[in-house]
Structure 1
Amino acid sequence: MVIKGQTAYVQAGAGIVYDSDPESEYQETLNKAKSLLEVSKK
């Protein structure tokens, strides 16, 4: 996470393998980013 002024930048990803479900992987990245942003609000 990088914080510049009042803006926080986060990067999250997931491991894509042969039988990955694209929607599940996308949701995983959103959940990871959301967790980082929630912690930064405290």
Structure 2
Amino acid sequence: MYKSGMGTRDVARFIESMFGSHYSPTTISNITATVLDDIHQW
């Protein structure tokens, strides 16, 4: 979602609407950074 152009706030709202879990935009950013690091190492 983030890669396709959604902002971190958009991703957070989407996750909350789909799954009922709340994540802050900062948390979404941190998760994205961690995943991207893992992808680059792979």
Q: Same fold (TM over 0.5)?
A: no
Higher share in strand: 1
Higher share in helix: 2
**Band of TM-score, shorter chain:** 0.3 to 0.5
TM-score (norm 2): 0.44
Larger Rg: 1
TM-score (norm 1): 0.44
Q: Compare relative contact order (CA 8 Å, sep 6+) and give the higher one, 1 or 2.
A: 1
